[in-house]
Structure 1
Amino acid sequence: MSIVIMVGQLILGLSILIILHELGHFLAARAFGIKVEKFYLFFDAWNVSLFKFTYKGVEYGIGWLPLGGYVKIAGMIDESMDTDQLVGPPQPWEFRSKPAWQRLIVMLGGVTVNVILGILIFWILTMRFGDSHIPNSAAKYGIVPGEIGKKIGLQVGDKITAINGNDVKYFDDLTSPKVLLENTVFTVQRGAQNLNITIPRTILNDLSDHGGIEEFINSLPRTKFVVDSVYGNSLKGGLQKGDSVVAVNGQPIAFWDELQIALLNNKGKVADITAKRNNNLVPLKIQINTDGTIGFARSKNDFPEFKTINYGFFAALPIGASKAWRTFSENAKGIGKIFKGDVKFNKAVSGPIAIANLFGTHVNWVRFWTLVGFLSMALAFMNLLPIPALDGGHAVFLIIEMIKGKPLSDKFLERAQIVGFVILVSLMVFVFGNDIVKIITKK
């Protein structure tokens, strides 16, 4: 059932994005009096569709090949590769008979809608839930670096006070895309010592290989802990609410990360647990599960408090627009790092399988719409790439036409469309395979 929920959210999210993207092309074309023949979610390859109907001369439907969607615009060489209509003279309702600037607007209609959708989603989420962050001042015991963080020189308990010389306001700034995508230097306070640690330009490669951002810095600051609810082996072993675990097999424990490490090092074994209860030390024997847990939840008071800034209707708009633009620019910076050689292509790209995992196995509408907003901006950026068959490729050809003062030949556009389609299909096959390889290699 969990897989069904995950796939269902993926299909719903992508369907929303595809339909609205194609609607942008559709509305722009109709605004200039251009005839639209088809409007499809997914591709009806070889004219095979799962569902279709005709309304006011336009065929609407759902194709069987889930590689996107399209609108078939009369007089245009597009995904359908239907060139028969180009044999005769241009008709006033056809794409090819319109001025280049109108055709350019039609081509950018989908990207425009994706940008508007992204801004709208982030605006509404900001207005509804505000901006929540953990103040960096709440990290009074410092950070918990993962494997990659330790590799570059970070240590448990370090306090990061500045990024590129600027004071750190929020704890989640430490793991922001800005840190990972730019040449970043942390100012670190370690005891009485202050030092600078440079984040490698290639860090995204390592994070892709080792499980993600938690292997850089844990998303929560280092904390102490108190036992709250008790169940399973902890309940059987005598652990009680209000206890503090102060030792595992004689190893002193003061922080949550120390307990996690000690339990993982002794997973599957019966451990000597020392609990502090009402200022008394109580020896316990508790079976540790094979996943390194013993069965208790820590008190909510142990977690750092999030600071939430609320915004009104109008104040939330620039904040939402800023988030949307940041997503767009981060995609551009990511592509730039690929071309610079800082990030390997197979480490940077993710396909539908990886995206489905981001949606998760449970329905969380805040997470769902946040991801849809992110994907909408990513789709806008990807469609602007100057690849034939993408909106960006069409736009480049139209700009060349406007500079030359005459259109490129139909034969050239037809061949470019074929090349672009081959590139896109090859890319889709690659990202599917890349997702599968990542899953297999992580097991």
Structure 2
Amino acid sequence: MSGVWVQVVQFLMALSLLIVLHEGGHFFFARLFKTRVEKFYLFFDFLFPFSNILPFSLLKKKIGDTVWGIGWFPLGGYVKIAGMVDESMDKEALAKPPEPWEFRSKKAWQRLLIMLGGIIVNVLLAILIYAMILFVWGEKRMPVSQMKGGIEIRDSLGYKIGLKDGDHILSVNDRQVYYYDDIIDELIYAKTITVQRNGKHEVITLPKDYISQMIDKRKAFFGVAYAPTIVEVTKGSSADKAGLKAKDYITVLDGVAIANNVIFDSIRLANKSKLVSLVYVREGKSYQTQIQLSDSGTLGIQRGGLSILDMEKLGMVKLDTHRYGFLECFPAGIRMAGEQLNKYIRQFRLILDFKTKAYKGLGGFASMANIFPQQWNWEAFWTITAFLSIVLAFMNLLPIPGLDGGYVLFTLIEMITGRKVNEKVLEVATTIGLVLLLGLMLYANGMDIFRIFKK
């Protein structure tokens, strides 16, 4: 299976799980308060948000009072709760007197819990997944002290804003960083970056349009610098004759310590056609050999990108690892879910600040699928799924009619004032909210299409 299809499969698995459990939260509280649920659907069985356009199911079966099904439009899913103004806009049913088993006949606090059910499940799911990730794999972080070669620029934007290969990042916005992921988390909000360069501290002031430029790239413009690592040796090449093998990494070339690929390239290009000394590491042990460089300075090796975990396996770095016991992992899961929610809220604020142009980073299905790795990795899959569950909970809590948060807002108004919001007002507000959601969906997925053709 190709890398792209691995991403697509992971995305569909995560999306389906989150939809079913979110709608299951609504279903649970509805049935708890003896409210009839007429439909429970994974994906929409109509062209959302137009319930009368292309109404058909891929699969459906009625069990009791509920029709369970799979729709054809994979935007989300829904439960149709009797006596509720929702995506179906069933005005005929709402024109009749309320029945005891309908949503509108229930007490305000019961309706509030029914509408919060999906959000509650999403939060609990994220906590559970994070807890199990910490229990099974633990928590691994790279201290900046382990970044011996500093950073390595991977896109011209890095040079444009003033960074250089080999820089050691000390602080972002005057906030000292202790771990590499602290740098990544703070980078999107950065106004200044303090680096250590050639033994001196330098403060880099970022341009005002920095965030929009970074979002345009949609990729990391720097990473952890590491010694050149071999993924393949060309048969019969100088490297092959010198005894080099895949997974070896080079630490010294022509007497110069090689902390990153940039230094390696500069040394090999300066010694074209020469016989030079080379030191490499294999399974934790160093070996020295002589190697003949070609007229163009090549050795006959193919280098590959490494993840932080790959670097740890090869012995390049030592990560700080914390293992969690079964009882210990649950409080840690709550803490981790809270941290991820805080990060997303900060990013959401940037999107609302039009000066930053962060709204250009919005994306649809393709963007969400693209955050999954192209090689199957269960830890990565569950980590991303937990984050998406947090995002789904937050977005659904927004007070927009048509989303859970819109219904929550109207119910809270009723609980405070003691008067129900008029159903005609609910219908109009829901229609407006659904149109806004449709516009946002078209914009986000349109941006994905635009980026594909822009490449």
TM-score range, shorter chain: 0.7 to 0.9
- Please name the residue that 2:105 is paired with: 97
Answer whether contact 1:230 1:239 (CA < 8 A) is retained: no
Distance 2:150 2:108 in 1: 58
TM-score (norm 2): 0.84
CA drift of 1:44 comes to 1.1
Q: 1:26-105 residue pairs with structure 2 within 5 A?
A: 26-45=27-46, 46=52, 47-105=55-113
Higher mean alpha-carbon deviation, 334-343 vs 17-26, is at 334-343
Answer whether contact 1:401 1:408 (CA < 8 A) is retained: yes
Instruction: Note if 1:360 corresponds to 2:373.
Output: yes
CA drift of 1:202 comes to 4.9
In structure 2, the CA distance between the partners of 1:346 and 1:40, relative to structure 1 (3 Å rule), is same
CA drift of 1:377 comes to 0.3
Unaligned stretches of 5+ in structure 1? none
Deviations 1:67-113 (A, max 9, x none): 11110101101011112111221111111111222111111111111
3-state secondary structure, aligned to 1:40: strand
Amino acid at match of 2:67: E
3-state secondary structure, aligned to 1:79: coil
Instruction: Note if 1:113 corresponds to 2:152.
Output: no
CA drift of 1:25 comes to 0.6
Distance 1:435 1:104 in 2: 36
Distance 1:265 1:100 in 2: 74
Distance 2:208 2:392 in 1: 25
Distance 1:224 1:194 in 2: 24
Q: 1:34-433 residue pairs with structure 2 within 5 A?
A: 34-45=35-46, 46=52, 47-146=55-154, 147-176=156-185, 178-181=186-189, 183=190, 185-198=192-205, 202-213=209-220, 215=221, 217-218=222-223, 220=224, 222-225=225-228, 230-231=233-234, 234=237, 238=241, 240-241=243-244, 246=253, 254-258=258-262, 272=273, 275-277=276-278, 282-285=291-294, 294-295=301-302, 301=314, 303-433=316-446
In structure 2, the CA distance between the partners of 1:341 and 1:261, relative to structure 1 (3 Å rule), is farther
Distance 1:55 1:41 in 2: 16
CA drift of 1:161 comes to 2.8
Distance 1:345 1:274 in 2: 51
CA drift of 1:325 comes to 1.5
Deviations 1:291-333 (A, max 9, x none): x994256996563222211111222222222221222222221
CA drift of 1:424 comes to 1.6
Answer whether contact 1:233 1:287 (CA < 8 A) is retained: no
Higher mean alpha-carbon deviation, 107-116 vs 417-426, is at 417-426
Amino acid at match of 1:397: F
- Please name the residue that 2:283 is paired with: none
CA drift of 1:235 comes to 5.9
Amino acid at match of 1:369: W
Structure 1 vs Structure 2 CA RMSD: 3.3
Distance 1:226 1:50 in 2: 49
Answer whether contact 2:148 2:259 (CA < 8 A) is retained: no
3-state secondary structure, aligned to 1:92: coil
Instruction: Note if 1:11 corresponds to 2:15.
Output: no
Distance 2:24 2:297 in 1: 56
TM-score (norm 1): 0.86
Answer whether contact 2:8 2:369 (CA < 8 A) is retained: yes
Answer whether contact 1:232 1:295 (CA < 8 A) is retained: no
* Same amino acid, percent of matched pairs: 38
In structure 2, the CA distance between the partners of 1:274 and 1:123, relative to structure 1 (3 Å rule), is farther
Distance 1:264 1:109 in 2: 61
Distance 1:344 1:20 in 2: 34
Equivalenced residue count is: 428
In structure 2, the CA distance between the partners of 1:116 and 1:260, relative to structure 1 (3 Å rule), is farther
